[in-house]
Amino acid sequence: MPTIKEVARKARVSVGTVSNVISGTAAVGAELRERVERAIRELNYHPDHIARSLKSRHTNTLAIVISDITNPFFPLVVRGAEDAASKNGYLLTIFNTDDRLERESQIFSVLRMRRVDGVLVVVSPNSADGTHVQDMIASGTPVVCLDRVPLGAEVDSVLVDNVKGARICVRHLITMGHRRIAVISGPRQLQTARNRVEGYRLALREAGIPYSAALVREGDFRFESGYRLAKDLCLDHPRPTALFALNCTMGMGACKAIQELALSCPEDIALAVFDDVPGADVFRPKLTVVSQPAYEVGYRAADLLIQRLTNQIASAKPVSIVLEPELIIRESTTLRLSVDAIPRG
Amino acid sequence: MPTIKEVARKARVSVGTVSNVISGTAAVGAELRERVERAIRELNYHPDHIARSLKSRHTNTLAIVISDITNPFFPLVVRGAEDAASKNGYLLTIFNTDDRLERESQIFSVLRMRRVDGVLVVVSPNSADGTHVQDMIASGTPVVCLDRVPLGAEVDSVLVDNVKGARICVRHLITMGHRRIAVISGPRQLQTARNRVEGYRLALREAGIPYSAALVREGDFRFESGYRLAKDLCLDHPRPTALFALNCTMGMGACKAIQELALSCPEDIALAVFDDVPGADVFRPKLTVVSQPAYEVGYRAADLLIQRLTNQIASAKPVSIVLEPELIIRESTTLRLSVDAIPRG
DNA sequence: GATATTATATGAATCGATTCACCGTGTCAA
DNA sequence: TTGACACGGTGAATCGATTCATATAATATC
């Protein structure tokens, strides 16, 4: 690998001049510029990014810290982030935490040593006050939180309007004649889960339907819990007429439960899911879902982060971008119940 | 951010001694070691990884270059690679190429400038002889190819036995009574696609069924082409009794086509897919698939790469790891055809 | 007691870029 | 003619670590 010195020697100029030609920071005469460019070409010289980073104090590297890329919500987020990053000359490094706080903190420590320029993070449910996030920001490395924000943290964020998503979905179920709508929720400490439940409550209240705590079951956003809770709910008397799973994987679990009980969807029980489900428009039952703009979440977040890095944002106050989810109605909820089809308490 | 110098000053030792304490490369007396450790703690010192990389000539960073993380095959691969990487103290940077060769080459150039220690790559279909891969290896950066290998390239690889996967799947279809089995294939220049077709041919030959080129249609591994080709095939006279889609997204396209034609699967036409399909065991039709050990592909590949980096591999010759796919039989192929149900010529 | 050996510790050189104080030359106005 | 100024160009200092030749002290050997 040739160095800038060798280029300088070959072009019979100083290293400073070579640097100027490359970065374009200072004017260089036509003659020398020509010589330098030729030397670069002939030596097939590429500047060493490590050395550059050492002096210039930035690495042009971003990190994205998520729970698990295997969760179908994240690939699009990561793709969006990578597109925004590479468009601006940044690299994206990826980390899975499995929602374990100690792993998350450890990763943050590594990121500091690595002098990563900025961090995108989906904080783990139990990250409480998010001191590691605050520390990172305090040490001069901007952070953007995706999807969730640690309580009381002063940090940029890109969120989806979870309240609204759940609300329009439940409103739809009510329109279809459902009154006994059960919810398969996520961990109580997750704001995401709480907001979705909140949307559910609001939709019920609008329709004058009493809220029943017995219809809201807490899972852990994983397949197994969706499966188990759906089974429980389907065996309840009276059985709910509709199930609303608050994320994709639990929705799939619920789907499996319904099948195993030989119930049909939506005839015996309707099912709606928060989150896109892969193949939801191809397989049966075609699921009604609340679709989140996952790609946009990643893209906008990385973009916001880069704006911070390049001081394009005047305000020191946290910026919060809230994106709109979209209700996609499919077969799993489109059987209209007549009023007397509603089971009575 | 404190530097090694400040630590040295605070502990009243030389920077060399601090470095020795941290890296453990040389013996340090108990007294000084104690002082240094205390200084590190009190200053909350973390070594600067950039400076370290500049001198030590390695970055502890790996790259994974794939076509699109959004393709359901890749998240598990990436997860496996990240697990292996982080276990060994490496970071993983991710790149999407959308199978565009010029983007791939550009990324390789960036990776060289960044002094990435090693590269995992799923080469793009038209990467021909893979000169960029060869160049990278020649310049001292090891590369492991996943899933596909550029023709004639001398490079480590982790592959799945595509011939075998297709063969056992088609064998299964034949066992179920199918004789007119159509294939929705991928781009001819992709070895992956060719190998799967080869497996199909072998299974036919074993069973003494003549191969008919008309039954093998070439798609591009995307949803649309799977959809279109499946529609064509379903409208053929006589209609094939089974469809075998050679990747996941085309399989989903085929599924949609079958539904739109109001055919039922497997009664009217059976469907098997190469690749896992998300939700294949939950939704209807429950698809028979050839499941690839995607996580293991990523994990083993990163592991192999790290072994190369740490000179744990004696042989200079390329290592090739071939993993076994697994046939998962589900409802979409399990209707047994009686012999006289087989359409004739 | 002199010398060889071992164990520690030091600090300057190095990695490959950027940056900036400084210098030479030419142009222009006074 | 001279001073001011712009323009090009130079090369040493710098970033923060590692590494190695060298120095010193302590111990072992004869």
Which chain B residues contact residue A91 at CB under 8 A?
A: 93, 110, 114
Residue A206: other Cβ atoms inside 10 A: 12
Q: Given a cut of 80, is residue A80 above it in pLDDT?
A: yes
**What's the gap in Å between the CA of B64 and the closest CA on chain A?**
10
Which chain B residues contact residue A70 at CB under 8 A?
A: 75-76, 79
pLDDT tens by residue, A207-254:
999 999 999 999 999 999 999 999 999 999 999 999 999 999 999 999
Contact A94 B86 (CB under 8 A): no
pLDDT tens by residue, A181-209:
999 999 998 889 999 999 999 999 999 99
Backbone angles phi, psi at B284, to 5 degrees: -105, 145
When pLDDT is averaged across residues B72-93 and rounded to a whole number, the result is 97
The residue whose CA lies nearest the C1' of nucleotide D14 is: A55
Which chain B residues contact residue A277 at CB under 8 A?
A: 279
Contact B285 A284 (CB under 8 A): yes
Among partner residues B49, B69, B282, which is closest to A114 by beta-carbon distance? B49
Q: Given a cut of 50, is residue A343 above it in pLDDT?
A: no
Local confidence band at B54 (pLDDT 50, 70, 90 cut-offs) = very high
Local confidence band at A12 (pLDDT 50, 70, 90 cut-offs) = very high
Question: What is the Cα–Cα distance from A181 to A173, expressed in whole angstroms?
Answer: 8
Question: What is the Cα–Cα distance from B256 to B28, expressed in whole angstroms?
Answer: 69
**Residue owning tokens 């993993």:** B323
Sheet holding B242-245, edge to edge: B216-218, B181-185, B242-245, B270-274, B288-291, B326-328
Closest residue on chain A to B136 (Cα): A1
Question: What is the Cα–Cα distance from B195 to B201, expressed in whole angstroms?
Answer: 10
Closest residue on chain A to B75 (Cα): A70
pLDDT at A345: 38
B74-111 in b/e form (b: 16+ CB < 10 A) is bbbbbbbbbbbbbebebbbbbbbbebebebbbebbebb
Q: What is the 3-state secondary structure (H, E, C) of chain B?
A: CCCHHHHHHHHCCCHHHHHHHHHCCCCCCHHHHHHHHHHHHHHCCCCCHHHHHHHHCCCCEEEEEECCCCCCCHHHHHHHHHHHHHHCCCEEEEEECCCCHHHHHHHHHHHHHCCCCEEEECCCCCCCCCHHHHHHHHCCCCEEEECCCCCCCCCEEEEECHHHHHHHHHHHHHHCCCCCEEEEECCCCCHHHHHHHHHHHHHHHHCCCCCCHHHEEECCCCHHHHHHHHHHHHHCCCCCCEEEECCHHHHHHHHHHHHHCCCCCCCCCEEEEECCCCCCCCCECCCEEEECCHHHHHHHHHHHHHHHHCCCCCCCCCCEEEECCEEECCHHHCCCCCHHHCCCC
Closest residue on chain A to B1 (Cα): A139
CA dist A213 → A284, B160, B317, B343 (Å): 30, 50, 65, 58
Q: A239 beta carbon < 7 A from strand D? A: no
CA dist B124 → A92, B68, B151 (Å): 20, 11, 12
Q: Which nucleotide is nearest to A47 (CA to C1')?
A: C17
Question: What is the Cα–Cα distance from B265 to A251, expressed in whole angstroms?
Answer: 24
- Please give the structure tokens belonging to residue B178: 């199918």
Q: Given a cut of 90, is residue A344 above it in pLDDT?
A: no
Among partner residues A1, A115, A256, which is closest to B48 by beta-carbon distance? A115
Which chain B residues contact residue A48 at CB under 8 A?
A: 113, 115
Contact B79 A91 (CB under 8 A): no
Among partner residues A75, A255, A279, which is closest to B252 by beta-carbon distance? A279
pLDDT at A341: 45
Closest residue on chain B to A95 (Cα): B82
Closest residue on chain B to A139 (Cα): B1
- Please compute Rg for chain A using Cα positions: 26
Which chain A residues contact residue B46 at CB under 8 A?
A: 109, 112-113
pLDDT at A338: 63
Local confidence band at A339 (pLDDT 50, 70, 90 cut-offs) = low
Backbone angles phi, psi at A320, to 5 degrees: -125, 120
pLDDT tens by residue, A111-168:
999 999 999 999 988 776 788 999 999 989 999 999 998 888 899 999 999 999 999 9
Q: Return the residue in B52, B261, B283 with the most chain A beta carbons within 10 A, the one to mutate for interface testing.
A: B283
Contact indicator for B276, B325 with CB cutoff of 8 Å = no
Question: What is the Cα–Cα distance from A48 to A3, expressed in whole angstroms?
Answer: 8
Contact A72 B46 (CB under 8 A): no
Q: B97 beta carbon < 7 A from strand D? A: no
Closest residue on chain B to A46 (Cα): B113
Higher pLDDT, A77 or A312: A77
Question: What is the Cα–Cα distance from A153 to B65, expressed in whole angstroms?
Answer: 35
Question: Which chain A residues 35-94 have CB under 7 A to strand D?
Answer: 51, 54-55
Percent of chain B exceeding pLDDT 70 equals: 97
Contact B279 A252 (CB under 8 A): yes
**What's the gap in Å between the CA of A208 and the closest CA on chain B?**
34
Residue A165: other Cβ atoms inside 10 A: 24
Question: What is the Cα–Cα distance from A255 to B279, expressed in whole angstroms?
Answer: 10
Report chain B's mean pLDDT, rounded to a whole number: 93
Contact indicator for B298, B76 with CB cutoff of 8 Å = yes
The residue whose CA lies nearest the C1' of nucleotide D18 is: B55
pLDDT at B341: 46
Local confidence band at B189 (pLDDT 50, 70, 90 cut-offs) = confident
Question: What pTM did the predictor assign?
Answer: 0.94
Q: Which nucleotide is nearest to A55 (CA to C1')?
A: D15
When pLDDT is averaged across residues B168-182 and rounded to a whole number, the result is 97
Local confidence band at B338 (pLDDT 50, 70, 90 cut-offs) = low
For the four alpha carbons of B239, B242, B244 and B249, in that order, the dihedral sign comes to: positive
**Judging by beta carbons within 10 Å of its beta carbon (0-12, 13-18, 19+), is residue A182 exposed, middle or buried?**
buried
Find and list the nucleotides of strand D having atoms within 7 Å of a protein beta carbon.
7-21
Question: Which chain B residues 8-47 have CB under 7 A to strand D?
Answer: 15-16, 19-20, 22-23, 25, 47
Q: Which nucleotide is nearest to A30 (CA to C1')?
A: D8
Question: What is the Cα–Cα distance from A251 to A274, expressed in whole angstroms?
Answer: 8
Among partner residues B50, B277, B284, which is closest to A115 by beta-carbon distance? B50
**What's the gap in Å between the CA of A298 and the closest CA on chain B?**
13
Q: Return the residue in A283, A286, A288 with the most chain B beta carbons within 10 A, the one to mutate for interface testing.
A: A283
Contact B50 A53 (CB under 8 A): yes
When pLDDT is averaged across residues B260-277 and rounded to a whole number, the result is 95
Torsion angle of C-alpha atoms A327, A329, A333, A336, degrees rounded to 10: 110
Q: Provide the CA A15 to C1' C27 distance, Å, integer.
A: 28
Q: Provide the CA B20 to C1' D26 distance, Å, integer.
A: 21
pLDDT at B339: 52
Q: Provide the CA A199 to C1' C24 distance, Å, integer.
A: 74
Sheet holding B320-323, edge to edge: A320-323, A156-160, A143-146, A118-121, A61-66, A91-96, B91-96, B61-66, B118-121, B143-146, B156-160, B320-323
Q: Provide the CA A18 to C1' C25 distance, Å, integer.
A: 21
- Please give the structure tokens belonging to residue A13: 């100029």
Among partner residues B48, B114, B279, which is closest to A279 by beta-carbon distance? B279
Contact A47 B92 (CB under 8 A): no
Which chain B residues contact residue A74 at CB under 8 A?
A: 75
Q: B1 beta carbon < 7 A from strand D? A: yes
Direct distance between the N- and C-terminal alpha carbons of chain B, in angstroms, rounded to an integer: 78
**Judging by beta carbons within 10 Å of its beta carbon (0-12, 13-18, 19+), is residue A318 exposed, middle or buried?**
middle
